[in-house]
Amino acid sequence: MTLDTTINDDVRWTTVCAYPRLEPERGVAALVDGEQVAVFRTYDGRLFAIGQQDPISRAFVMARGIVGSRGEAPTVASPLHKQVYDLRTGHCLDVPGVAVPVYRVRCRDGLVEVAPRPQPAAGDS
């Protein structure tokens, strides 16, 4: 299980659901500070959160994507056009320059929580 042990965290985390309710390899959509977020639990228990909007189609569907992996990268494929995104960074592995926002996610006291602001994808300024 992924745990965040940050003590001095000024972020107001949003509770999404109880950890056991988040089925492995399935996503759920949540509203976090007015933003739609897709939250995933992988078979090894890790948690990931990305923007719910598919950057190619602009539809809010990423929580319904197909979870898998490409090499070492945990991934989700868009349910519409099947572009694959790295859940760690948000980068599209099929279309250069395309990415979804990545959110901080943690399990605290058995609850899955997401931070309200997206983290920039690696390499973005």
Full-model pTM: 0.85
Q: Does 46 have pLDDT greater than 60? A: yes
Please tell me which residue, 32 or 6, carries the higher pLDDT value: 32
Residue 9's pLDDT is 61
Residue 102's pLDDT is 96
Torsion angle (degrees, nearest 10) of CA 99, 1, 21, 53: -10
Beta strands in the chain (DSSP E): 14-18, 26-32, 35-41, 47-51, 66-70, 73-77, 84-86, 102-108, 111-119
Architecture of domain 23-105: 3-layer Sandwich (2.102)
Q: Does 120 have pLDDT greater than 90? A: no
Assign 118 a pLDDT band (cuts: 50, 70, 90). low
